[in-house]
Structure 1
Amino acid sequence: MHTMWKGTISFGLVNIPVKMHAATESKDVRLRQLHKECQSPIKYEKTCPVCDRDIKEEEIVKAYEYAKNKFVVLDEEEIAALKKEQEDKAVEIIDFVQLEEIDPIFFEKSYYLSPNEGGGKAYSLLHAALSETGKIGIAKMMIRSKEQLAVIRIYKNVLVVETIHYPDEVRAVQDVPNIPKQVDIVKKELDTAKLLIDQLTTAFEPDKYTDDYRTALLELIEEKKSKEQTISNKSTAKPDNVTNLMDALQASLDKAKKDKPKAKGNATASTTKRKRIAK
């Protein structure tokens, strides 16, 4: 399992060296965009609309747009220094709370934690303590240029980091449009709805839920492959400037040879030959 991050978890005077691994993965079937005429993949190109030309990577800078068309440019060195300052910090557990106190709307992504060298005993200690108390840890950590608020909890026999949104990242429910105001509910209708819920209530078994659309889409793709209903990219990679230059030079050379007048010596020899034939 790929290691995404290495660091330490600390609570009190306890430090646990750990490695972090993605606990989930996307199974989405990604479809490419092709040019219908020649079946070539459509590429993303970075261009400047003002200079009207392609832009190289080294010509790009990062900036924050604080108002319409007004920017603050940030140097890579400045950003790197801030990242380093945060990445050097240990993942410190700030508080311990009950999992039930956090609404699922705050949860973002899950990561497995494994002990790094020398961290096995402390890792097991934290796992056991969380298991016995039923608590979870609230911590902060730096992941991919963002300081994340996170939950550290147990899942079976491993520790899990669950990144959660900051409160200001969750939009206010008051901003949701068209929510009905107080509506009188008929008791008979409510009782019927509650009865339906009781009849459909069961133990949660995650394995019984599958992505039917993804399964059907993959089956359709395999069917088309088996029937050889496939296409190949007819075009090759676009020649670079060097290739274009060589083509232009070669074409110019061929044209020059074709249009070049014959040397005088050759013309004299041809005239002499024609005179001899005439005699």
Structure 2
Amino acid sequence: MRQAGRYLPEYQAIRKKHTLEEMFRIPELIFEITKQPLDIIGVDAAILFADILHIPLTLGVDVSFPGKGGPVCTPLIETADDLLQVHPRPVEETLSFVKEGIHLLKQDISQPLIGFCGGPFTVMTYLTGKKVKKWLYSDPESAAELLQMITDQSIAYLQMQVDAGVDALQIFDSWANLLSRAEFCRFAQLYLKQIVDAFPNTPLILFSRATSHFIPEFVSLKPSAISFDWTYPLHEIRQRVPSTIAVQGNLDPELLYAPPAVIERETKKLLTSMAGDPGFIANLGHGVLPDIPVDHVRTFVDTIKAFKLS
């Protein structure tokens, strides 16, 4: 998942020398940090080190990381009046550092490289200072204008990544769990569909902390794969997902606080439950937490790679 490097001492050493803004926007650092889980843990694919909030930069909104409370967008876009000040910029120019980082990686690694972006609703959540539902309820028409603008910029951003060489894409609509089913269909699903439809020839994974609650809605989008949170057993979820769509997940990331023997046991339970499924990607149900012991992450990965049915 997307936070795959931040638990590593090697990542934390870079973090002591650089701001997050520098880490996200210097191609050589993107290259180094993306490679760390490959080299140290031995995972099967690299996930591009980038921020979920690169799209606001293309809308003239600055993104900073004060250290507590998550990223901050300046200025906030909270109303239709604020929307008048938003002027989309060319993605290739604004986010050229991402393309350069991908080029460096593709010259060096043999494993698949997964690019990504935030889902439009999730990006809007941050752009509004997490007051997104106030806007949705008070002026849904202008909210839809912003969501469409984010969607258009996201498609251009993902296309740039594909052109630069990424092998697959993942869309993180993490905050869609704020929405009811009706709201999800109107303010998230509609825009995710545009993104999925824009990439018919590139494997694309959808993720949200609400995927287990919106299974039919995600299935209707027909992505290559859906990544599920840990709230329901994955073998039960699979019964509601066609075999043409892969499923990814879905162990609770906090399981990795447990002793290695417990991690191994619970990981084998998941693998056994999904044995024989041709479209199963073993993973966590969200990102690795920053204080998880490295050896515990390695136990999880090694257990998966060594697994064989008895």
Counting helix residues as a fraction of each chain, which structure ranks higher? 2
Taking structure 2 as the reference length, the TM-score comes to: 0.19
Structure index of larger Rg: 1
Counting strand residues as a fraction of each chain, which structure ranks higher? 1
Taking structure 1 as the reference length, the TM-score comes to: 0.20
